[in-house]
A = this chain, B = another copy of it.
């Protein structure tokens, strides 16, 4: 399907039909998801395709029983965990060696990523970095983070959101529909998936064939001149 057609036909669908979504549709959408850009390419994301009936039931409950979850044929949970930089580091260091990357990039992956992604006990190391940046920032442009656990979770969530958007567009391009759900009990979803405290549930995505009553009306967007500013 044409890119702009896939974007235009995507709507958040709150009711799905009973139609079974072929596994290949989800697989193809997940492959598109991991091609999204992400912070420093550390790929601190995970995609949980919840398939066992018992887990699905618990996930629907954690989504407060909303119909987009209840009627979804498939459910995928997008998770962000900044600590997953450790999983990527060996492959990134290897990749940089093979690639035509300048010296600072090598140092970045070998030395700076571990420093950037460490917040220390009670955010102590983060505080040290924040104070140093504050004083340096008076004199010249400097990064204003990420320093603390929450900052790094935010970075990871942002990247996971980029992947989630690829996912829903890829489902749309295959003729099916989705609903991104932020309305869920994050504690219960984390418990269900056995996630560590550093992990954050970015969203739960329901996938299925759109029911004719899947939306409440035509899509509503603010006029472009309210949100797009030429400066």
Q: Which residues of A contact B (CB under 8 A)?
A: 1-8, 10, 12, 28, 30-32, 34-37, 39, 41, 43, 45-52, 55, 61-64, 87-88, 91-92, 95-96, 98-102, 105, 137, 141-145, 150, 154-155, 157-159, 161-162, 164-166, 168-170, 173, 180, 182-188, 193, 202-203, 213, 216-222, 224, 226-231
Contacts and interface: CB of A to CB of B under 8 A. Distances in A.
Copies of chain A in the complex: 2
Contacts of A213: 100
Nearest to A11: B37
Contact of A229 (B8, B47, B159): B47
A218 B216 CA distance: 44
Contacts of A99: 216-218
Nearest to A23: B230
Most chain B CB within 10 A, of A32, A52, A170, is at A32
